[in-house]
Amino acid sequence: MIQHFYDAHYEGAEQARGFVSQWKTLEGHLDPQPYRDILERFEYQAGEAGKWRDVVCNWIYGLSGIPDQKGRVGKPNGQ
């Protein structure tokens, strides 16, 4: 269950970064100012998603003591 929690939070942050990439494909197809405004918001949200992912996953690790099997949170297994 804890591993699923870690995986879901990392996948969510990755999706937020993906929105930035997807939005960038629209450059030149939209009015420049609204395009830039929305891009800035997507970039901000992607950054915040990464920060909150780390905060929440480290909090869960601190409570459970169960490291992430993929080595992203806590100590990798066997170390």
Give the C-alpha separation, 10 to 31, whole Å.
33
Full-model pTM = 0.82
Round the average pLDDT of the chain to a whole number and report it. Answer: 93
Predicted confidence band at 75 (pLDDT cuts at 50, 70, 90)? low
Domain-wise residue ranges, the chain: 2-64
At 74 the pLDDT is: 77
At 54 the pLDDT is: 95
CA distances from 8 to 2, 66, 76 (A): 10, 16, 18
At 35 the pLDDT is: 98
